[in-house]
Amino acid sequence: MSEFQRNVRFAVLPLPTEGARSSEFARTMAPHPLVHQELPYDPQYTIYNHRLIAMSMAGVSAEDAYWMLRRRAILRHTGEFPVEVRGPDAERLLNLVFTRDVAKTRVGRCSYQFACYDDGGMINDGVLVRLADDRFWYGQADGDLSLWLKAHARGMNVEVFDPEVWISQVQGPESLRILKAAIDGTYPDPFRYFDAAEVRIAGQDVVITRSGFTNELGWEIYLPPDIDVRAVGERVLEAGKPYGMLPVAVGGARRIEAGLLNAGSDFDETVTPFAAGLGSMVDLDKADFIGKAALENADKRPRTWGLRVSGGVAGIGRSLRKDGSPAGRVCSSAWSPFQGCGVAIVRLDDPDLGAGTEVDVECADGRTRPAVVCDLPMYDKERQIPRGKLVDIPELPGADEPS
C-alpha cells in the first residue's frame, strides 16, 4: 500500500433523508442503509459497485472475524448490486447472456450465473434469484452487467433496472438459529441451499436466500427501499446477540479456501470460464448464448488453482516462479488462521501444471518462500457445510485437548 493510499480517508454518513441536501457523489459512493451498525467498530471502506463496503475494522481483527465466521456467526453488509430483470422476455434475455440454462432455475430458487463476451472472456458473476416466472434479481459482483443486459434487450419485451435493493448476510454455523429467532412467525420449510423465500422480519416483508460468499452455512437478506430497513437490521442484530454475532468485514481467507472467485481479481475479460476452473458452469448443449462459439473451441484445461504458502502471505501479481522462471499470477491471497499458512488463488501460465506443483512465491514481506499448488476448494470439496449436511466447527489453535 502506497503512502498516498494510507492517507486517503472516506467520511461515511447515512444516506440523506427525503428533502435533505445530498452530494452529487451520493450514488457514486453510497453507504449501506445499515452502515450505522458498522461505525462503532472503526471500519475502513472501499468502493464496490459504486457503493461503500467495509474492507477492515479496527475493532474486530481479521483473525477474530475469521474465527467468528467459522465457529459462531457474522453479520456483513455487502456491496453486491441487485439488478432487476422483469417482463415476458426476461428469461429469454438472461438465457442469451448467461452460460447456464436459466429455465432450470425455478421460482423460489437461486443459481450462480456469469456472462461472457463474444470471445469467451468473462464479464461478471453473481447470484440469480427467480422471484416469479417473469421477474428476477441478479446480485452481481463488482462491475455493471446492467448495461450489457440492456444492450442485448433490443426488440424484447423486458425491463432492466436498479430496484434500489441492498444485501446483507448472516454466515456461520449458528446462522439458521439466528434466522429462526429473527423471523415473525413460521420459518420457511423447506429452506434448502440456494432456496429463496419471502418472510417477515420486524413486521417488514423481505426476501431471504440460502446463499453467501463464505462457503459456510448462511443466508442473505434483500432489503428493498419501501420498508423500515433500520427495524429489520435491529431485529437481526438482536437475534444474533446470544451467539456473539457482530457486524464484521470478513477478509479473503475463507472464500479463498472455498475457491469462491472474486470478479476483477481472480478472473477478468481475458480469462475464459474454463481457465477460471468454472467449466462445469458452461452448458454448451443449451441454445445459443453470447460467447458460445468461442467457448466451444476454447482450451478446456483449468489454469486457476489454490496455493498454500509456508510461513507467509503471497504477494499479489506475477510473483510465482518455477525452477527460476515466471510461472503465473497470484490473484488473491490471505493468511488462514485455520490452516496456519498463507492461502491464495493463482492462475498458472502452463495449463498442464496443477495440484501438487511446487513453486516459489514472492511474499508480501519481500521474502521468497516455497509453496504448493492445491485443489479448490481446499477442504469441504463437496460443499457439505453450506448445505447444512456437515457441522464442522474447528477448535481454536492452542485450545486445551479434551481429557
Q: Which residues are annotated as a binding site for substrate?
A: 220
Query: 108, 77, 124: which is closest to 223 by C-alpha?
Result: 77
Query: 334, 310, 331: which is closest to 320 by C-alpha?
Result: 331
- Element (H or E) spanning 269, and its range? none
- Element (H or E) spanning 306, and its range? strand 304-309
**CB environment 157-180: b (16+ within 10 A), e (fewer):** ebebeeeebbbbbbbbbbbbbbbe
Dihedral angle over CA of 221, 10, 315, 3, nearest 10: 180
d(CA 365, CA 46): 23
Cell 476452473 sits on residue: 277
Annotated binding site: 220
Q: Decide if 120 contacts 294 (C-beta within 8 A).
A: yes
d(CA 386, CA 258): 11
Q: Is 286 exposed, middle or buried (0-12, 13-18, 19+ CB in 10 A)?
A: middle
Bridge partner residues of 109 (DSSP):
195
**Phi, psi of 257, deg, nearest 5:** -55, -35
CA 136, 183, 199: angle at the middle one, nearest 5? 25
Which stretches of 30-161 are DSSP H helices? 62-71, 90-97, 145-151
Q: How far is CA 178 from the centre of its chain?
A: 21
**DSSP sequence for 144-198:** -HHHHHHHT-TTSS-EEE----EEEEEESTTHHHHHHHHBSSPPPSS--TTBEEE
